[in-house]
A = this chain, B = another copy of it.
Amino acid sequence: MGELRRDPVKNRWVIIDPERPDREAALKVEAQPPPPLAGPCPLCPGNEAMTPPEIAALGEPSRQRNQPGWWVRVTPDLQPLCRIEGDFDRRPEGPFDVMNAVGAHEIVVESPEHHLTWAELPEQQLERVLRAYRLRSLDLRLDGRFRSLIVVKNHGDAASILQHPHSHVLAFPFVPHGIEEELRGCQEFYARKERCAFCDIMLHERVSRVRRVEETDHFVVLAPFASRFPFETWVLPLRHASDFATIDDGELVDLAGLMKRMMQMLGKVLGNQSCTIVLHTAPFDEPHTNDYHWHLEILPKTATVEGFGWGARLFVNPVTPEEAAALLRQAV
């Protein structure tokens, strides 16, 4: 019989049942062929004029802005979800609340090379990518209009028009619903226990080890107890911190190596590294210093989500996190 497991932060029950008939599909990610590139890649070196002017870059000291020679380059997204200019114009519309979609939507071009994945990028290059996230987080909070920041990396997203390795940095005047839920859960947990919920989870999982995938000097990777998706993992810093931007250089180097290995493991186990990686970090204006713990969530694109998921947020996961962790550990 399957189990109902409750996520201690979000208080969300998940059905975990390895006897589900869709289990086989969940153990393989279908490799989707990337769509053919129509014309030159706007993210490749030499094509800098095809993107909006760059916001930041790491590269050769002698390099000039918007010219080749960069290692990592940050520009506004070519099709931004929200615009950096303009006023919110917060207003009521009847009983509703509405404002203009003002926000930052930047992309981090992760390498000059067009075809490398995180599993293939040199560790030093991934370190630069993480450094760019930190840089942008520190800079975007200076814009008093923005309350929150998320970073999203779609790995192997056949739907994207851009095949060149890149990730999204978004800053919003609101807190995305998924993060807000987590913050509320952590706050309620702290009010009761005067401890960070994620610290408690880590403490337990590092001792029990059944859902621990890997541990480094500064991070631990867990398959969460109430995983919504097959092979869902969380990467948590061992040092309690609510704000990703407080990551130090040693932690950055450590995390770069760890993320590369994680993508290699997923590739080995699932035959494909297609996943979404999301940075969860505290909002700028509510630091949640004691009760929140920044982390990365890795959500592999395995089986499609059943109608129950969208309709009522009822998740059914046919792969137990214990099995997922064991399979990932074996793939090291």
Contacts and interface: CB of A to CB of B under 8 A. Distances in A.
Contacts of A278: 307, 311-312
Nearest to A6: B97
Interface in A137-171: 150, 152, 154, 157, 159, 161, 168, 170
A313 B315 CA distance: 14
Contacts of A204: 94-96
Given A96-B225, A150-B312, A312-B150, A83 B1 contact: yes
A304 interface: yes
A15 to B, nearest CB: 5
Q: Name which of A20, A101, A102 has the most chain B CB atoms within 10 A of its CB.
A: A101
Contacts of A312: 150, 152, 176-179, 278, 280
A288 to B, nearest CB: 16
A122 interface: no
Contact of A157 (B86, B101, B173, B307): B307
Given A200-B95, A208-B94, A311-B278, A82 B10 contact: no
A10 to B, nearest CB: 7
A96 B143 CA distance: 39
A181 B12 CA distance: 10
A130 interface: no
B101 A2 contact: yes
B176 A313 contact: yes
Contact of A3 (B22, B95, B100, B161): B100
Contacts of A154: 307
Nearest to A193: B95
B4 A174 contact: yes
Contact of A307 (B93, B276, B310, B313): B276
Q: Name which of A8, A102, A178, A179 has the most chain B CB atoms within 10 A of its CB.
A: A178
Interface string A5-29: 1101010110111001110000000
B276 A101 contact: no
B316 A81 contact: yes
Nearest to A7: B96
A201 interface: yes
A284 to B, nearest CB: 16
A74 interface: no
A314 interface: yes
A297 interface: yes
Given A176-B313, A280-B312, 4 more contacts: A3-B98, A81-B316, A168-B308, A177-B312
